[in-house]
Structure 1
Amino acid sequence: MEYGYIIAGFAVSFIVGMTGVGGGSLMTPLLLWMGVTPGTAVGTDLLYAAITKASGIVAHQRNRNIDWGITGWLALGSVPAAAITVWALHGIHADTQTVNMVIKLALGLALLLTAVALVCKKALLAFAQRHAADWLNLPPGKLKVVTVLVGVVLGVIVTLSSIGAGALGTLALFLLYPLLQTNRLVGTEIAHAVPLTLVAGLGHAGLGNIDWVLLATLLIGSIPGIYLGSQLTGRIPDHWLRPALATMLVIVGVSLVKPALAALA
Structure 2
Amino acid sequence: MQIYLPIAEMSVNVLLVLGMGGVVGFLSGMFGVGGGFLLTPLLILYGVPPAVAVGTQANQIVASSIAGVLAHMRRGNVDFKMGFVLLVGGLVGSVVGVWLFALLRRLGQIDLAISLSYVVFLGAVGGLMFVESASTLVKRRRSPGGSSARGPGRHSWMHGLPLKMRFRRSKLYISAILPLLIGFMVGILAAIMGVGGGFVMVPAMIYLLGMPTQVVIGTSLFQIIFVAASTAMLQAAVNQTVDIVLALLLLAGAVFGAQVGAKVGARLRGEQLRVLLAALVLMVCGKLAYDLMSTPTEIFSFGTLPLN
Residue matched to 2:4:
none
Counterpart for residue 185 of structure 2? 153
Alignment map for 1:93-132 (pairs within 5 Å) = 93-95=105-107, 97-122=108-133, 126-129=148-151, 132=154
Please tell me the root mean square deviation across aligned C-alpha atoms, in Å: 3.4
1 or 2, which has the higher strand percentage? 2
Greater mean alpha carbon deviation, residues 24-33 or residues 62-71: 62-71
- CA gap of 1:120–1:62, structure 2 versus 1, over 3 A, is same
Between the aligned partners of 2:109 and 2:227, the Cα distance in structure 1 is 24
2:46 corresponds to 1:34: yes
Q: Name the structure 1 match of 2:216.
A: 185
Residue identity in the other structure for 2:19? I
Task: Deviation per CA, 1:86-107: give whole Å up to 9, x if none.
Answer: 1232244434x32222222223
Given the alignment of the two structures, is residue 134 of structure 1 paired with residue 162 of structure 2, yes or no? Answer: no
Q: How does 1:174-253 map to 2 (within 5 A)?
A: 174-178=206-210, 180-206=211-237, 207-227=239-259, 241=276, 244-253=279-288
In structure 2, do the counterparts of structure 1 residues 62 and 136 end up closer, same or farther at CA, with 3 Å as the change threshold?
farther
Q: Is the 8 A contact 1:42 1:160 kept in 2?
A: yes
Q: Where in structure 1 are there 5+ consecutive unaligned residues?
A: 260-265
Contact 2:61 2:228 (8 Å CA) reproduced: yes
Q: In 2, distance between residues paired with 1:94 and 1:137? A: 41
1:169-201 deviations in whole A, cap 9, x for unaligned? 1111122332x3443322221111111111112
| Structure with bigger RCO (C-alpha 8 Å, 6+ apart) | 1
* Higher helix fraction (1 or 2): 1
TM-score in terms of structure 2 length: 0.69
Cα offsets for 1:88-133 (capped at 9, x unmatched)? 32244434x3222222222332322342254134258955349812
Report the Cα offset of residue 22 of structure 1.
Answer: 5.1
Q: Provide TM-score, normalisation by structure 1.
A: 0.79
Structure 2 match to 1:11 = 23
Cα distance in structure 2, aligned partners of 1:18 and 1:186 = 8
Number of aligned residue pairs = 256
Q: Is there any run of 5+ residues in structure 2 with no aligned partner, and where? A: 1-11, 137-146, 165-174, 295-308
Deviation at 1:140, TM superposition (A): 4.7
Q: Which moved more, 1:3-12 or 1:62-71?
A: 62-71
Matches of 2:71 and 2:262, distance apart in 1? 15
Greater shift, 48-57 or 7-16, is seen at 7-16
1:79 to 70, 83, 91: 91
Residues 243 and 88 (structure 1 numbering): CA distance in 2 closer, same or farther, change over 3 Å? Answer: closer
> Is 2:79 the counterpart of 1:67?
yes
Describe the SS at the equivalent of 2:242.
coil
**Deviations 1:227-254 (Å, cap 9, x if unpaired)?**
555666669xx59955752442231241
AA in 1 matched with 2:285: V
Percentage identity across paired residues of the two chains:
24
